[in-house]
């Protein structure tokens, strides 16, 4: 098998405690041509450590934004992609790390199937702190993040949006390898999103590109779970998800996203929106739901999520639902 010539992009912000593990887990693969560390205006020793690692291995490259600004993870990944010289792009968060099998399936699939534009796999979770573990479990994330099977590429979008009848689940950027050319079709990371930028890009990739499953029954990378993980900040995640899905609904109209998938994006956006409004804004939305969005009012699962988002309390939400008029709900 020929080598893939992968550029691994690592955005790093105040990641001094974890960065070396991440970099060393990536740099020694024969398929990895370069590891690009993008220091995002760190205020700890991240930059100094990055430069030290660069001196030790010529595969490692270090860059920063103009004037050493902090521009966020999306801008950092975009900078890394644009600087990459490899034919393939893989991502790695600075507090995560690759496992020895990271590119096994990718090497085989890309070399045997020139039509494939991206390969995804599974990632696991390593709990670094007790608080991180508690928050992770509260977020109801699965310890193995994966897709339950190998859906045809044209059905992956439905899987990711939770409307497929057979497959379910999702995958992480840490377990995704794509041809660099895909970004001309999907676009780059949305730099206006504080969170959910990965969900946004993966959904666009699934709409415009041919993505297939690699190793999905065991992890090819590990997520480091600690006190300051972005993924456990659920309030900001809900707000960003609402914005992201609203944008995907609009983007999908001009980018061949099936109407069923677009409708799902709108549903997700409206549900998430109520989780971030004031109580009175949410209550007004809820009371006008039958008139403004009858498709949500007649969707029991969506209605329950909206009610909980407004009241923020399971008991009150259940009482409200009990005395609601469910006329017309299938």
Question: Does the pLDDT value for residue 231 go beyond 70?
Answer: no
H/E stretch holding 74: helix 73-83
116/123 Cα distance (integer angstroms)? 21
Q: What is the pLDDT of residue 327?
A: 44
**Other C-beta atoms lying within 10 Å of the C-beta of residue 131:** 15
Number of Cα atoms under 13 Å in the Cβ half of residue 1:
16
Question: Does the pLDDT value for residue 138 go beyond 60?
Answer: no
Question: Measuring CA to CA, how many Å separate 292 from each of 279, 288, 324, 329, 330?
Answer: 18, 6, 17, 16, 18
Give per-residue pLDDT as tens, 292-303.
888 777 788 888
Domain ranges (residues) in the chain: 1-98, 109-233, 277-330
146/300 Cα distance (integer angstroms)? 27
Q: What is the pLDDT of residue 294?
A: 82
58/178 Cα distance (integer angstroms)? 23
H/E stretch holding 273: helix 259-274
Question: Does the pLDDT value for residue 287 go beyond 70?
Answer: yes
Question: Does the pLDDT value for residue 326 go beyond 60?
Answer: no
Phi and psi torsions of 147, nearest 5°: -100, 140
How does DSSP assign 45-56, residue by residue?
SHHHHHHHHHHH
Q: Give the global pTM.
A: 0.87
Q: What is the pLDDT of residue 79?
A: 98
Query: Which CATH architecture fits 1-98?
Result: Alpha-Beta Complex (3.90)
Q: What is the dihedral of CA 255, 261, 264, 269, to 10 degrees?
A: -20
Give per-residue pLDDT as tens, 181-211.
999 999 999 999 988 999 999 999 999 999 9
252/127 Cα distance (integer angstroms)? 37
Would strands 32-39 and 6-12 be described as parallel, antiparallel, or unpaired? Answer: parallel
**Other C-beta atoms lying within 10 Å of the C-beta of residue 161:** 22
100/280 Cα distance (integer angstroms)? 52
> 66 burial class (0-12, 13-18, 19+ CB within 10 angstroms)?
exposed
Q: What is the pLDDT of residue 132?
A: 46
């Amino acid at each position: 098998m020929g080598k893939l010539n992968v550029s691994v992009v690592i955005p790093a912000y105040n990641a001094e405690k974890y960065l070396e593990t991440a970099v060393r887990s990536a740099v020694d693969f024969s398929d990895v041509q370069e590891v690009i560390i993008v220091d995002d205006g760190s205020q700890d020793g991240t930059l100094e450590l990055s430069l030290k690692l660069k001196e030790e291995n010529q595969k490692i490259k270090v860059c920063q934004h103009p004037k050493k600004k902090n521009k966020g993870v999306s801008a950092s990944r975009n900078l890394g992609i644009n600087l990459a010289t490899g034919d393939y792009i893989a991502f790695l968060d600075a507090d995560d790390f690759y496992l020895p099998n990271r590119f096994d399936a990718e090497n085989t699939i890309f070399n045997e199937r020139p039509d494939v534009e991206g390969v995804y796999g599974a990632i696991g979770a390593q709990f670094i702190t007790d608080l991180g573990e508690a928050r992770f479990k509260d977020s109801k994330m699965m310890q193995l993040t994966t897709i339950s099977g190998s859906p045809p590429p044209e059905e992956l979008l439905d899987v990711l949006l939770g409307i497929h009848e057979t497959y379910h689940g999702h995958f992480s950027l840490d377990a995704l390898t794509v041809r660099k050319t895909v970004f001309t079709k999907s676009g780059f990371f949305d730099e206006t999103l504080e969170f959910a930028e990965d969900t946004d890009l993966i959904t666009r990739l699934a709409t415009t590109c041919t993505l297939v499953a690699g190793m999905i029954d065991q992890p090819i990378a590990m997520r480091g779970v600690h006190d300051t993980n972005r993924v456990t900040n659920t309030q900001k995640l809900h707000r960003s998800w609402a914005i992201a899905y609203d944008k995907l609904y609009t983007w999908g109209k001009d980018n061949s996203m099936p109407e069923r998938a677009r409708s799902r994006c709108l549903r997700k956006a409206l549900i998430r929106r109520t989780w971030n409004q004031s109580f009175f804004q949410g209550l007004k939305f809820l009371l006008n739901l039958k008139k403004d969005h009858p498709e949500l009012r007649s969707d029991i699962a969506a209605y329950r999520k909206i009610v909980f988002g407004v009241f923020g309390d399971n008991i009150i939400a259940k009482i409200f639902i009990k005395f609601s008029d469910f006329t017309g709900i299938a």
